[in-house]
Amino acid sequence: MTDVPDPTSPSATRPRIGFSTNIWDNPADIVGHLDFLADHFTDIEFEIAEEAQEVLFGATAQEYEKIVDGMRSVITERGLDVSVHAAWYGPHTDLCAADEAERTESVHFLRRAVHLAADLGVDRVTYHPGYTGRRPNSVLLDVLRSSLDRVRPLLDRTGVLLCMENMGADRPRYVVFSPEEHVTLCESTGTWMTLDIPHLATVHRPRGDFDEALATVAPYVRTAHIADIKGSDHTHIPIGAGDLPLWESLEKLGSYGFDGAAIVEEFARGYTPEDYLKAALSFRERWDAAGAMRGEG
């Protein structure tokens, strides 16, 4: 059973603003890009996707060890808090697959992400649940639990926390669980949640229950994803380019006790990585300054 914090206890501090490697499309120079982002952020999410996934999964044992050693050196020398985002696109990324062979390979990919986190000495892995296959959520939850059961012994040995990311609207193939279903999954599997605030907004702002949804899942959140959006359009744009009440959302999340990393992640056509970086740095400067004035963080 997941040990959640007491929501009535005082909030320790505010979320910390961080950045994902996926804004630059996860380049092949894994160590170099991590070092580059460390010039700007101490909270970084490393995503296993695109060129970085090809390099990592195609590496020999010796090459893998060299990558891990390089990443660990950057993490240690730059004082980083790093999390890992498991592979999420393409074959073997469907933990809810009806096909047993595909689900087995998807579990294997998730285990590789957990192994990487353990090798790096970091404690959080974000994953996506997979695809609906036109099945109801009740069935998908049972299949997903079965997949996570196969990973549990590894989680217990390594101490890595597994965090499922909530999916957003307008992508009908993806599994979208309700806040209550997220809580049920966390409680029944001893896992946690990566709260994607724009995703939550695309589903719940049109329904008028965004605040209630946030309050429901907040005690289970161990990492957050942030960006801006326009209305309920599922397009992650630079902070300040849309109308998402991100500041207020982070304030509310912090009021429930979350003081972890809020990672700027996912990009959209029409913007450059530099656009996201500039907007994130500006937002963080204002966010940290407000926290300092209150004596927080």
pLDDT digits (tens, 9 = 90+) for 41-59: 999 999 999 999 999 999 9
Dist CA 88 CA 128 (whole Å): 6
Interior/surface letters 228-242, b for 16+ CB within 10 angstroms, e for the rest: bbeebbbbbbbbebb
Q: Residue 42 has what DSSP assignment?
A: S
Measured CA to CA, the distance from residue 225 to residue 34 in angstroms comes to: 18
Strand partners, 125: 84, 162
Bridge partners for 85 per DSSP = 47, 126
Residue 29 tokens read as 């120079």
So what's the pLDDT on residue 10? 38
Kindly state the average pLDDT of the residues 108-117.
98
Task: Look at residue 297 in the predicted model and tell me its pLDDT.
Answer: 52
What is residue 1's predicted lDDT score, i.e. its pLDDT?
41
How far is the CA of 212 from the CAs of 182, 208, 217, 245, 259, in angstroms? 14, 9, 9, 15, 20
DSSP 131: B
Q: What is the pLDDT of residues 199-257, one digit of tens each?
A: 999 999 999 999 999 999 999 999 999 999 999 999 999 999 999 999 999 999 999 99
User: Phi/psi at 86 (nearest 5 deg)?
Assistant: -65, 160
DSSP H helices in 8-167: 30-38, 50-57, 61-78, 100-120, 137-158
Q: What is 230-253 written as a DSSP string? A: STT----B-TTSS---HHHHHHHH
Mean pLDDT, range 149-177, rounded to an integer: 96
Nearest CA among 191, 175, 171 for reference residue 183: 191
Q: Angle of helix 210-217 relative to helix 246-255, nearest 10 degrees?
A: 40
Which has the closest alpha carbon to 244: 210, 285, 209, 286?
Answer: 210
Q: Which amino acid is at 109?
A: F
pLDDT score of 269 more than 70: yes
Tens-digit pLDDT profile for residues 80-89: 999 999 999 9
